[in-house]
């Protein structure tokens, strides 16, 4: 097997986040569940909600894209596969991800729908309530996969959010086959409970078949996946089938389980939670960067915790400080 050219190639939603402060009563009055993510199924619905937003900030987003943006900031070599439309937001996304030093070659898609966008309302306690119109991301076809690129990456990283639509789901299944045939590792993040609810059987099928090498989840997601009532029981249900299970535990830190080895680290201290958008994405960035560099589980978890702590102290899901500097010595 040849030495990987890239540390990670990720496949995920190519969307632009639009963030705006909001009061708790605004969330309730508009029928949203605070702190949750809901899908918006039509551009008209997205436009109507956007019209209600206060002044916003546009930042390129998408779960897997956020993760590799963090990895690139740490010094990893990264590539991204995701579908944008041939429109202004598509140009914003492509510019931002390439400016981060990430290879992005997926051609823009002509016609409707528009590039995906996530309308994020951030309450004073830092909780983010997300309303996502996936737009063109739903239409990533298998023929847009670069098999050579996938085979040249140490890790293939996939986000559960993109499993919903049929076309990109088929593309991700094909990408898994390419990566495994090349002897590479597949990392998968469960993303959200509503995704698990729709695709639990398919996710468990991937796990049971031994197709996932690294599984990322938060405590609620892994319990929901396994239909258990404790994190320990949930991890026990999958750890014999997944070589490395990584679970974030909010203010309690994070854990990694690899066979008989179980490692935990505390959460990093912070001054104030401003916006929790991207916390899990940046945690995965730090952890995968550590693993790609051959670091221990403890060091990788610590890198993840530092990156997560950085991103929740400002608006947006991309780092704004020098991650190399704040993780030096780990």
What would the pLDDT profile of 97-129 be if each residue is shown by its tens digit? 999 999 999 999 998 899 999 999 989 988 889
Evaluate the omega torsion of the peptide bond into residue 113 and state whether it is cis, within 30 degrees of 0.
yes
Could you count the other beta carbons within 10 Å of the beta carbon of residue 145? 19
Q: What is the pLDDT of residue 219?
A: 96
pLDDT-derived band at 164, boundaries 50, 70, 90? confident
The pLDDT tens digits of the residues spanning 128-159 come to 898 989 899 989 999 999 999 999 999 999 99
Work out the pLDDT band at 305, boundaries 50, 70, 90. very high
Domains defined for the chain, CATH in brackets: 6-13+62-87+138-327 (3.40.1190.20)
1 has pLDDT over 70 = no
User: Which residues lie below 8 Å from residue 14, measured CB to CB, with a gap of 6+?
Assistant: 62, 65, 80, 82, 83, 84, 90, 93, 106, 115, 116, 136, 137
- Rounded distance, CA 107 to CA 58, Å? 22
Q: What stretch of H or E contains 255?
A: strand 254-258
The reported pLDDT for the residue numbered 42 is 86
pTM for the full predicted model = 0.91
Angle at 17 between CA 12 and CA 19, to 5 degrees: 150
Q: pLDDT tens digits, residue range 69-90?
A: 999 999 999 999 999 999 999 9
Q: Which residue did the predictor score with more confidence, 71 or 57?
A: 71
CB-CB contact of 195 with 160 (8 Å) = yes
More confident residue, 52 or 315: 52
Is residue 245 within 8 Å of residue 215, measured between CB atoms? yes
Can you tell me the distance from the alpha carbon of 220 to that of 35, in angstroms, rounded to the nearest whole number?
13
Q: How far is CA 123 from CA 37, 126, 130, 277, in A?
A: 14, 6, 11, 12
What's the pLDDT at 276?
A: 78
Residue-wise pLDDT for 182-231, tens only, equals: 999 999 999 999 999 999 999 999 999 999 999 999 999 999 999 999 99
- Which tokens hold the place of 119? 């309308």
Q: Best-predicted range by mean pLDDT among 273-277, 282-286, 315-319?
A: 282-286
């Amino acid at each position: 097997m040849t030495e990987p050219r890239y540390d990670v190639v990720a496949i995920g939603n190519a969307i632009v986040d639009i963030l705006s402060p909001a009061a708790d009563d605004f969330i309730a009055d508009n029928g949203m569940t605070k702190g949750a993510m809901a899908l918006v199924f039509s551009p008209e619905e997205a436009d109507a909600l956007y019209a209600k937003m206060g002044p916003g900030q546009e930042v390129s987003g998408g779960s897997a894209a956020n993760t590799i943006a963090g990895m690139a900031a740490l010094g990893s070599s990264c590539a991204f596969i995701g579908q944008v439309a041939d429109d202004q937001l598509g140009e914003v996304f492509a510019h931002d991800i390439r400016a981060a030093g990430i290879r992005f070659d997926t051609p823009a898609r002509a016609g409707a729908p528009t590039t995906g966008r996530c309308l994020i309302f951030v309450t004073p306690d830092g909780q983010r309530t997300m309303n996502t119109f996936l737009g063109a991301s739903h239409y990533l076809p298998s023929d847009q996969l670069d098999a050579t690129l996938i085979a040249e990456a140490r890790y293939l990283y996939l986000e559960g959010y993109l499993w919903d639509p049929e076309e990109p789901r088929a593309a991700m299944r094909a990408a898994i086959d390419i990566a495994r045939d090349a002897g590479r590792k597949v990392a998968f993040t469960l993303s959200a409970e509503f995704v698990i609810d729709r695709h639990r059987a398919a996710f468990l099928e991937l796990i049971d078949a031994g197709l996932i090498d690294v599984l990322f989840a938060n405590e609620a997601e892994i319990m929901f996946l396994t239909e258990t009532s404790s994190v320990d029981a949930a991890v026990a249900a999958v750890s014999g089938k997944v070589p490395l299970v990584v679970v974030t535990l909010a203010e309690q830190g994070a854990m990694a389980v690899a066979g008989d080895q179980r490692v935990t680290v505390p959460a990093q201290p912070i001054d104030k939670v401003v916006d929790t958008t991207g916390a899990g994405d940046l945690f995965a960035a730090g952890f995968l960067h550590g693993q790609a560099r051959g670091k221990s589980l403890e060091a990788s978890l610590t890198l993840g915790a530092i990156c997560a702590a950085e991103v929740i102290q400002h608006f947006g899901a991309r780092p704004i400080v020098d991650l190399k500097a704040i993780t030096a010595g780990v």
